[in-house]
Chain A
């Protein structure tokens, strides 16, 4: 059964985040390409990162001052959350991060107690680097662990060794990070149920307060998609993924990390406030190549190619396209995003008949809100479709 005990904690945080101002900053560099990844990333040697990082930071800073002046994008309040994602943000020299945070502080102001997250690959953190990040204001670390099984890491082309993610978290905690998260991937070809359980146990053993777990998706055009098409790897199986999701929810919940979004589990107060902003329809700027942003019903996307994006930051054309959502699109997005959250959806937003039928099918719980059951979380797409009828 679903435990509702911690919903209030999340809802309280919700009050503070609602109407929030988030900033997502995309770092498009990696030292190697993982076979399953279709993100906007480019290979770069660590030796190039000082120069690349300085240029990148200058571009982001230019975007910040341009956005502040732009009528459609301006947000008149201090920043609540910042998220450096990638790519591999931990490749960046810390001064580049500092440049961006300084520009934000100067131009917009940063709320005291703001959540500032950086993604890191296990192999690219060091005690020195972690101390420097804390010193410039970063206070949350999200480490891409993916698995504790060397065979799985190998299939995923991950550069790190099993155990490296746990060591990175331990270093971060020693350095003074109080909010750490681990990312896990399940359903990789060749991963057994036992291997998945072991990865979950290894992640929990670090005592992080937040874990994200994603079913492996195989985007078209990736190296892994080609290997599967060529028969070198088996196609991931949805039933296997469903079983592993249930295992994750079981083990993580038992360890005190409850789900607050379909693929995210956290101890009370450890939820990622930045990501909650996405699901609650908050406003955020997307900065950096290929980043997406959302301000008052306008969604926009930056140019993906770093050179094109950078040129755009100098002449105000870094945004490649944008769309203004009409009321029906806003409604669709709201239903689609709110149902992903444990705090759920306001029943008044959707037809009662659809709710009734979904409750009978055991996919939805109807109390003061509408919340997905565990089975409903796995079948979230059809729940949303039914609610949108």
Chain B
């Protein structure tokens, strides 16, 4: 009666759970220890952050794609259980993916660093988990650290969840202390799945990954019924049908199985080549005996942030297109269309779920495809209503209409900030200056406070997080969720070089900050653009009104005074480099601008 073969496992022996944790709070290390403690991964095959598949994930300590691993666990009493650990993304950009992963679980381990306490994103994901009725196991990690304060943070957690302080487990994922107790607790308190094994098949897609050799691998949680190899399946949102060429479980590498059934977590391969054909959140059913109602909760991914990506070397444009086409296979949220910039040449306007998503795509284009790119400042989605009643959606400031504008609205978010209480004043001041409206404030403990604000997304995309970090010496954490559009007094600021607008620097900003923006960009460009043979004015303008001006003085001398025998080679090499550099010059009207100046001016914002 204790058959744990995939496709035959009794639901009563299954526990599906995830780990909710902040970056660096030790989620991947805890997963590693669980894999080792249960013998799922042999000592020989063990590597650090076993479940993180991409280099970027390992390096940054973040999870971008979900991952599920089937862990057979024999309790001290000798009963073998199947634990399915569903590793979830941990970033605000991927809240939807997180919600789908949570929906595939009955319980969650809330993992908190015993030296730092809970962070805003963790709290947000905890609320998501509670919304999904998950059983929560609070755990303090890193109790081996000298700075650990388990008593203090156990109290905080008990206050947040409403549990007893003694219910908070204490582990060290690093040393393995407490991991066995945690596994027992998972078996003990997380409810077994309770789907109907006899009902028509329904499986929730919680991730979908493109693999060069096998096509799309779809990760599912079987809720009702069962699926077997060679079954024809149907995607309930698109009604598309496919044949399951392979299905199985991950333990810890893919293991094909004859079938998977209610309560289990596994993967499907149907031969489709694009993750858009197998979308996160969709419900899979069988074509022969389809379910009448989907599991619900499916949403189309919606880009929140747009940025233009341009190859440094114009001849890389086709490579960039091919690379985006490839990334798209594995990323249902990535959207793009060709864009032409007078300053930057040919590129793509790309839509992303958020800043991290943007950064990851840029980094992958760089690393996996060797593309050197410039990205324009990220922009949110504006809705512009013109006097003539027509409406347009603007994702690129240079497309902001010039006509009579009746109203402009911008996306806003509900933001949560958690920080030590001594920074409350600084945070309020910052949120105020970024057009925030206070929604509420709670003390999580006498030392830590949670502040809730409505903020324009554009402010967050600009540099809010960096400003928050610097004002709170890195102690504040931030989370936010979309909260619709709001009308605002927004204007487009253009930057003119020698009277010619530079499209890459146009920005849509609140009227009150237009002047500061104009002054800052003009000053930055004055520093970055080399002097020309003539004087070059750098201006910021709203429409035809100039709001800021800097002047790049004409150059008078560039020659090296000395050129004797020993200088000739060096000087020639310098010339050859300058010749190469000249090829990368962009002409803005009569002004030669090295591409580096654009990059520096555009990236300075991101680095601030």
Please give the distance in Å from A79's CB to the nearest CB on chain B. Answer: 15
Closest to B568 in A: A333
Which residues of B are found within 8 Å of A292, using beta-carbon distances? Answer: 565-566, 568-569
Compute the total of residue contacts between A and B using a CB distance below 8 Å: 94
Q: How far is the CA of A332 from the CA of B533 in the complex (A)?
A: 23
Interface residue count for A (Cβ, 8 Å)? Answer: 43
Q: Does A197 contact B (CB under 8 A)?
A: no
In the complex, the answer to whether A242 meets B556 with C-beta atoms within 8 Å is yes
**Is there contact, CB below 8 Å, between A239 and B569?**
no
A336 at the interface (CB under 8 A from B): yes
Residues of B within 8 A of A24 (CB): 565
Given A245-B557, A380-B558: A275 touches B564 (CB 8 Å cut-off): yes
Set of chain A residues within 8 Å of B564, measured between Cβ atoms: 275, 278
Taking a contact as CB atoms under 8 Å apart, the answer to whether A239 and B566 are in contact is: no
B568 in complex: contacting residue of A299, A377, A379, CB < 8 Å: A299
The residue from A213, A262, A323, A388 contacting B569, defined by CB atoms under 8 A apart: A323
Find A215's partner among B555, B557, B569, B571 (CB 8 Å cutoff).
Answer: B557
Q: Does A158 contact B (CB under 8 A)?
A: no
Chain A residues closer than 8 Å to B558, beta-carbon distance? 238, 378-382
A86: B residues at CB distance < 8 A: none
Does B561 reach chain A (CB closer than 8 Å)? Answer: yes
Given A299-B568, A332-B576, check contact A239 B561 (CB 8 Å).
Answer: no
A294 vs B566: C-alpha distance when bound (angstroms): 10
Residues of B within 8 A of A336 (CB): 563, 568, 571-572, 575
Most buried by A among B558, B561, B572: B561
Query: How many whole Å from A244's CB to the nearest CB in chain B?
Result: 10
Q: Report how far A262 CA is from B563 CA in the complex, Å.
A: 9
With a CB–CB cut-off of 8 A, which chain B residues contact A239?
553, 556-557
Among A279, A286, A323, A378, the residue within 8 A (CB) of B559 is A378
Enumerate chain A residues within 8 angstroms of B582, measured Cβ to Cβ.
385, 389
Q: Is the CB of B578 within 8 A of A238?
A: no
B contact residues around A385 at 8 Å (CB): 575, 578-579, 582
User: Is B578 a contact of A381 with CB atoms below 8 Å?
Assistant: yes
Q: Does A319 contact B (CB under 8 A)?
A: no
Verify if A233 is at the interface (C-beta below 8 Å from B).
Answer: no
Within 8 Å of chain A (Cβ to Cβ): is B562?
Answer: yes
Q: How far is the CB of B555 from chain A (nearest CB, A)?
A: 7
* A210 and B569 alpha carbons, distance in the complex (Å): 26
Taken residue by residue from 538 to 578, chain B's Cβ proximity to chain A (1 for < 8 Å, 0 otherwise) reads as: 00000000000000010111111111111011011001101
Contact B562 A217 (CB under 8 A): yes
CB neighbours of B576 from chain A (8 A): 332
The CA of A323 and the CA of B553, in the complex, are separated in Å by 40
- Taking residues whose C-beta sits less than 8 angstroms from the other chain, chain B's interface range is 20 to 34
Q: With A and B bound together, what is the CA distance between A238 and B582 in angstroms?
A: 21
Contact status A379-B555, CB under 8 Å: yes
Q: Verify if A384 is at the interface (C-beta below 8 Å from B).
A: yes
Contact A238 B568 (CB under 8 A): no
Chain A residue numbers with a CB within 8 Å of B559 are 262, 377-381
Query: CB < 8 Å: which of A217, A241, A294, A329 contacts B565?
Result: A294
A263 at interface, CB cutoff 8 A: yes
A299 to B569, CA, bound (A): 8
**At the interface, yes or no: A293 with Cβ under 8 Å from chain B?**
yes
Measured between beta carbons, the chain A residues less than 8 angstroms from B566 are: 286, 290-292, 301
| A61→B569 CA distance, assembly (Å) | 26
Is the Cβ of B572 less than 8 Å from the Cβ of A378?
Answer: no
Q: Contacts of A42 on B, CB cut-off 8 Å?
A: none
Question: Which residues of chain A are near B556, meaning CB under 8 Å?
Answer: 238-239, 242-243, 378-379
Type the 1/0 row for A229-245, where 1 means its CB is closer than 8 Å to any CB of B.
Answer: 00000000011011101
A284 to B569: give the CA distance in the assembly, Å: 14
Q: How far is the CB of B494 from chain A (nearest CB, A)?
A: 29
A361 beta carbon closer than 8 Å to chain B: yes
Given A245-B557, A378-B557, decide whether A263 and B562 contact each other with a Cβ distance below 8 A.
yes
A193 at the B interface (CB under 8 A): no
A353 to B582, CA, bound (A): 17
Q: Quick check: B575 and A217 within 8 Å, CB to CB? A: no
CA distance A3 to B431 in the complex (A): 68
Asked if B557 and A238 make an inter-chain contact with CB atoms under 8 angstroms apart, the answer reads yes
Distance in angstroms between the alpha carbons of A300 and B282 in the assembled complex? 70
Give every chain A residue within 8 A of B561 (Cβ-Cβ): 213-215, 217, 262-263
Choice from B533, B562, B565, B569 contacting A361 with Cβ under 8 Å:
B533
A340 with B568, Cβ < 8 A, contacts A238-B555, A385-B578 known? no
Which residues of A (88-115) have their CB < 8 Å from a CB of B?
Answer: none
Check if A337 is an interface residue, CB within 8 A of chain B.
Answer: yes
Question: Which residues in B have their C-beta under 8 angstroms from that of A384?
Answer: 575
Having A377-B559, A379-B559, A385-B579, one finds 18 other A-B pairs with CB under 8 Å, namely A217-B561, A262-B559, A263-B562, A275-B564, A278-B568, A279-B563, A291-B566, A292-B565, A292-B566, A292-B569, A301-B566, A332-B572, A361-B533, A378-B558, A379-B558, A381-B578, A385-B578, A385-B582
Can you give 5 A-B contacts (C-beta < 8 A)? Answer: A238-B555, A238-B556, A239-B556, A278-B563, A284-B565
Q: Which residues of A contact B (CB under 8 A)?
A: 24, 213-215, 217, 238-239, 241-243, 245, 262-263, 275, 278-279, 284, 286, 290-294, 299, 301, 323, 329, 332-333, 336-337, 340, 361, 377-382, 384-385, 388-389
* CB-CB nearest 5 A-B residue pairs: A380-B559, A242-B556, A242-B557, A214-B561, A292-B566
